[in-house]
């Protein structure tokens, strides 16, 4: 099956610093990758959709200058949380949609990154 | 607006059957997904329905009625490991997933 990896799985950083999270599709090409945030006991909240080679589309209320997304290749997307604050502490999950028509609508999720900002 | 409704929490007994309902209202519709999510982990795919009817996969089955905007996930022969949150998500006309808040399923011995 399709596998998506995320790195790091956990990160603790100090307030004001930046953190980069990588999302990779390991055995398929992903034209579209999604970044979600999930606070405890809440559902997934879509932050942005990124298509390879173009700018990400951010959901309403998500600051694009704070959450920088780069989707430079068909297998890698990165999310950088800039000038992180304690309220940015959350579980960040990426997912990837495969390029092949048979998997056009299914999203494969990475294992998530637990970010704690102190 | 777009909306997905599912119960917040359900409790069931090991070995029993449980049905988790989901109703949706979306701008266009291109199918409905069910995902399982254990605490602290990412969601894993369970099922996808785009046509009316029941799809069976082992202990798990998923049903869709497009005319009613309704789906359910049926779990049989419940095991303790089935304790998790179950997320319903509808694919809208832009092929964007609209997520429900999830149903936390508690299995008791």
Does the structure show a pLDDT above 90 at B79? Answer: yes
Sequence-distant (6+) residues with CB within 8 A of A107 are A34, A95, A96, A97, B45, B97
Considering only CB atoms, which chain B residues are within 8 Å of A49?
Answer: 96
Does the structure show a pLDDT above 90 at A35? Answer: yes
DSSP bridge pairs for A66: none
d(CA A33, CA B66): 28
pLDDT at A53: 80
Q: Are residues A90 and A35 in contact, defined by beta-carbon separation less than 8 angstroms?
A: no
pLDDT at B94: 78
Q: Is B40 on the interface with A (CB under 8 A)?
A: yes
Mean pLDDT, all residues of chain A: 89
Sequence-distant (6+) residues with CB within 8 A of B81 are none
Query: Which residue's entry shows tokens 């298509």?
Result: A51
DSSP bridge pairs for A22: A7, A78
Does the structure show a pLDDT above 60 at A28? Answer: yes
Which chain B residue lies closest to A36 (C-alpha atoms)?
B42
d(CA B47, CA B58): 11
Phi and psi based region of residue A41 (left: phi greater than 0; alpha: psi -120 to 50; beta: remaining): left
Q: Are residues A100 and A108 in contact, defined by beta-carbon separation less than 8 angstroms?
A: no
Burial-class residue A62 by CB neighbours within 10 Å (0-12, 13-18, 19+): middle
CB-CB under 8 Å, A106 with B33: yes
Q: Once rounded to an integer, what is the mean pLDDT over residues B77-88?
A: 96
d(CA B24, CA B68): 9
Q: Is B100 on the interface with A (CB under 8 A)?
A: yes
d(CA A68, CA A60): 15
Q: Compute CA B32 distance to the chain's CA centroid, rounded to the nearest angstrom.
A: 8
Please work out, in degrees rounded to the nearest 5, the angle formed at the alpha carbon of residue A58 by the alpha carbons of A85 and A10: 40
- Rounded alpha-carbon distances, angstroms, from residue A57 to A72, A74, B12, B108: 15, 17, 41, 43
> Percentage of residues in chain A with pLDDT exceeding 90?
64
Q: Once rounded to an integer, what is the mean pLDDT over residues A90-102?
A: 81
Q: Is A42 on the interface with B (CB under 8 A)?
A: yes
Alpha-carbon dihedral sign for residues A78, A111, A32, A56? negative
Q: Is B51 on the interface with A (CB under 8 A)?
A: no
Does the structure show a pLDDT above 80 at A100? Answer: no
A/B interface, count of CB pairs below 8 Å? 41
Which two tokens mark B69?
A: 């905007």
Question: Of B42, B45, B96, which has the smallest distance from its Cβ to A93's Cβ?
Answer: B42
Does the structure show a pLDDT above 90 at A29? Answer: no
Kindly indicate the confidence band of residue A97, based on its pLDDT and cuts at 50, 70 and 90.
Answer: confident
For B23-71, the pLDDT digits (tens) are: 999 999 989 999 999 988 888 889 999 999 999 999 999 999 999 999 9
Does the structure show a pLDDT above 90 at A19? Answer: yes
């Amino acid at each position: 099956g399709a596998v998506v990896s995320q790195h790091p799985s956990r990160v603790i950083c100090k307030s004001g610093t930046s953190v980069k999270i990588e999302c990779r599709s390991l055995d398929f090409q992903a034209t579209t990758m999604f970044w979600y945030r999930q606070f405890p006991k809440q559902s997934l909240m879509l932050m942005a959709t990124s298509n390879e080679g173009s700018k990400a589309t951010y959901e309403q209320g998500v600051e694009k200058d704070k959450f920088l997304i780069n989707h430079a290749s068909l297998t890698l997307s990165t999310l950088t949380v800039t000038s992180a604050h304690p309220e940015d502490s959350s579980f960040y999950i990426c997912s990837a949609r495969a390029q092949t028509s048979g998997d056009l609508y299914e999203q494969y999720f990475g294992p998530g990154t637990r970010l704690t900002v102190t | 607006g777009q909306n997905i409704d599912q119960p917040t929490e359900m409790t069931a007994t090991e070995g029993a059957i449980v049905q988790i309902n989901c109703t949706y209202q979306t701008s266009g519709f291109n199918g409905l997904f069910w995902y399982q999510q254990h605490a602290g982990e990412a969601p894993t795919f369970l099922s996808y329905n785009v046509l009316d009817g029941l799809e069976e996969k082992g202990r798990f089955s998923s049903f869709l009625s497009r005319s009613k905007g309704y789906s359910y996930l049926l779990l049989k022969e419940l095991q303790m490991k089935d304790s998790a949150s179950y997320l319903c998500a509808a694919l809208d006309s832009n092929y964007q997933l609209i997520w429900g808040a999830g149903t936390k399923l508690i299995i008791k011995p």
